[in-house]
A and B are shown apart, each in its own frame.
Chain A
Amino acid sequence: DAGITQSPRHKVTETGTPVTLRCHQTENHRYMYWYRQDPGHGLRLIHYSYGVKDTDKGEVSDGYSVSRSKTEDFLLTLESATSSQTSVYFCAISAERDYGYTFGSGTRLTVV
């Protein structure tokens, strides 16, 4: 949808295991973001990227790392998943820093 895809769409994993979520875009946009969405909290930024190998932390970055080795791919890694990381994860892209975002369809992650 609109040149942005997330994988997997759903994942169930066990506490303590590493997990990597992928965001792929075909729009050649410079900015990419990872958000998590939880009831009562809305969308909260985890990490974002402003170019290849250029990333920065958002407001809820603890327990997460990211990598961007190519313009089109932005990976989110949970090094050791915890139950508090059960959430819906959205990737978003934008062409410029203060443009509106286009969101991917989300990844529903359950940590048991």
Chain B
Amino acid sequence: EDKVVQSPLSLVVHEGDTVTLNCSYEVTNFRSLLWYKQEKKAPTFLFMLTSSGIEKKSGRLSSILDKKELFSILNITATQTGDSAIYLCAVDFTGNQFYFGTGTSLTVIP
């Protein structure tokens, strides 16, 4: 059965730390992978990854995909309290819909 697994489930760090969030998938016919940030309301889009080895970057956030080893990582450097959120990973392997992992809850304490 196809599935998407995120780790760790939760993480508590201090401001200024660097964190790495993981998303592994066991799917056939991989098409693309998405990262979202969810604070109190709707998930907001961070990155879409389709090609292996190409890093996507936005400010202190970056992400990379390894299609051979079937995983993606999301890095956040110099974390701030505003980075506290649930980070969601989703994978498209059907061409019709994305399947989401259960998310990683990140808490950044001052």
Could you say which residues of chain A place their CB within 8 Å of the CB of B95? Answer: 97-98
Residues of B within 8 A of A43 (CB): 43, 88, 90, 100
The reply to whether the CB of B98 lies closer than 8 angstroms to some CB of chain A is yes
Q: With A43-B88, A45-B97 given, is the CB distance from A103 to B42 under 8 Å?
A: yes
In the complex, B58 has a CB within 8 A of chain A: no
Given contacts A42-B101, A42-B102, contact A98 B32 (CB under 8 A): yes
Q: How far is the CB of B18 from chain A (nearest CB, A)?
A: 25
Bound together, the chains give a CA A59 to CA B98 distance in angstroms of: 11
Given the known interface contacts A42-B88, A42-B102, A98-B32, the answer about A48 and B97 at a Cβ–Cβ threshold of 8 Å is yes
Count of chain A to chain B residue pairs whose CB atoms are closer than 8 Å in the complex:
49
Q: Check: A101 CB closer than 8 A to any chain B CB.
A: yes
Residues 15-32 of A, flagged 1 when their CB comes within 8 A of B and 0 if not, give: 000000000000000000
Number of B residues near A (Cβ < 8 Å) is: 21
Q: Is the CB of B45 within 8 A of A102?
A: yes
- How many angstroms from the CA of A48 to the CA of B45 in the assembled complex? 19
Q: Does B34 contact A (CB under 8 A)?
A: yes
Complex: how many Å from CA A48 to CA B41?
21
Is B31 within 8 A of A98, CB to CB? yes
- On chain B, the residues within 8 Å of A104 by CB distance are 42
Q: Report yes or no: A100 in contact with B101, Cβ–Cβ below 8 A.
A: no
- Roughly how many angstroms separate A8 CA and B21 CA in the complex, as a whole number? 34
- Binary B-proximity of A76-107 (CB < 8 A = 1, otherwise 0): 00000000000000100000011111111110
Compute how far the CA of A42 lies from the CA of B8 in the bound complex, rounded to whole angstroms.
Answer: 14
Q: Which of B41, B43, B96, B99 contacts A97 (CB 8 A)?
A: B96
Please indicate which of the listed interface residues B31, B44, B48, B98 has the most CB atoms of chain A within 10 Å of its own CB. Answer: B98
Asked if B92 CB lies within 8 Å of chain A CBs, one says yes
- Measured CB to CB, the nearest residue on chain A to B43 is A103
Q: Which 5 pairs of residues, A with B, have the shortest CB-CB distance?
A: A103-B42, A42-B102, A43-B100, A42-B100, A105-B41
